[in-house]
Amino acid sequence: MSCLPSLITNTAEEGYKVAIKLSRMAVKMTQPDDASREKMRPDYANNADSLIQVSLVVATNFNTVAKANNYWRD
DSSP structure string for 23-64:
HHHHHHHHS--HHHHHHHHHHHHT-HHHHHHHHHHHHHHHHH
CB of 34 to a copy of itself, least distance (A): 13
* Window 10 to 29, contacts with a copy of itself (CB under 8 A): 11-13, 16-17, 20, 22-27, 29
CA dist 65 and 57 (Å) reads 13
CB of 27 to a copy of itself, least distance (A): 5
* Window 26 to 65, contacts with a copy of itself (CB under 8 A): 26-27, 29-31, 36, 40-41, 43-64
Size of the site for a copy of itself (CB under 8 A): 53
CA dist 49 and 21 (Å) reads 21
